[in-house]
Amino acid sequence: MNDIAKQATADKFLQALKKEHLSKKEAGKCIDFTDVQVSYLFNKHYWGRLGDAPWNKLLSWVNSGQGLLEYGEKHGKVLPEKSGYIKPETVDDIMDNVAKSAERHLRRAEKKKTVDLGNGVGKTTTIEEKEQEEAKTPRPSVGQMVDMLIEEKKSLQEKIEAIDVLLKHYIP
């Protein structure tokens, strides 16, 4: 095999590795490569150390047209435990498990809805307790609310004037 063919083969291996989200070690196990052989594969200076047998293994994988994990499974290689690899027939089962897990988390969250009181002690209270506490405190009257809004409007106008001054300074 010439260097051009070796480079193309090594590139295909790298692309498959990335596509299947495998580490170099995991990908090497799929085609029965040692860690050292995988390292040699990615460095042109060491291609001579690989010998013909590993290149032939790699070439037979490329010619199979299969992904690394699929190739390893069909050829009896010990596959790495890969959480991202999902066999097509188990996707529905996994989706059901995810939905059930999400429902459990939502039920737990509903039971544990808590709010930090901000008292620095780390005490929390449920949302219902917080609402009851707020109901005990009197709401501001309409007149008080108008006064607060007028003060907020003045504050915002002052900020806008300050921004205008800064803009005039920086934009001639």
What is Dmax (Cα atoms) for the chain? Answer: 90
pLDDT for res 86: 52
pLDDT average, residue stretch 88-95: 63
Give yes or no for residue 11 having a pLDDT over 60: yes
Distance CA 43, CA 25 (A): 15
What is this structure's pTM? Answer: 0.45
Burial of 112 (0-12, 13-18, 19+ CB in 10 A): exposed
Q: How many residues does the chain have?
A: 172
Strand-strand pairing, 114-116 and 124-126 = antiparallel
CA 22 to chain centre: 15
